[in-house]
Amino acid sequence: MPIGEPPLMMQALERGVVDATSLSVPASFVAKSKGFFELVNYDNLGLAYPMHAVTTLRPTIGKNPQLVERVLKALVEAVAVFKGNKEKSFAVWRKYMRGASEEFLEETYQHTSAGLEAVPIPSVQVIASALDMISAHYPQAKQTDPSLIVDPSFVRRIDQSGFIVALYKK
């Protein structure tokens, strides 16, 4: 049953509207702290699924590849700041996650930091897995070649330029 964003999912769980729901970090940590039990941990299943993806239309890439590269550089730099400056990351979270305990912030930080790649090369395998999952509702997804969806060239160029290595030397 579609419920909505994590806060609505938590409310539905707490009020007994649903018996279970699928939550990601940090909402899953909130649920555990409220006494709910984890039935399945997607991280431990080894499923390859694009939970966080940057997408654009092919015409955008063709018309303005510099924009695509600047956006990706900003995202890569944000990851480097997040991973390299824990206190700054916590300060931002404290602002938006009012009342979150230091233990909660630490657990969320460790989990998130471990999952963020310094060089986020898009994965054909991940897209293939996602296409397979959605093919139950959209059969045409089975005929889609995942390599036509993924374009790792931008991240590879950024990496080869030395940009990413320089971020982590700061």
Confidence of residue 56 (pLDDT cuts 50, 70, 90): very high
* Helix (H) / strand (E) containing 76: helix 65-84
**Nearest-5° angle of CA 56, CA 60, CA 63?**
160
pTM assigned to the model:
0.79
CA 67 from chain centre, in angstroms, equals 21
Is the pLDDT score of 70 beyond 90? yes
Residue holding tokens 């993924």?
A: 150
Which whole number is the average pLDDT over 52-73? 93
Contact 55, 63 (CB under 8 A): no
Tokens of 121: 């090369």
Q: Which helix (H) or strand (E) holds 151?
A: none
Which pLDDT value is given to residue 42?
77
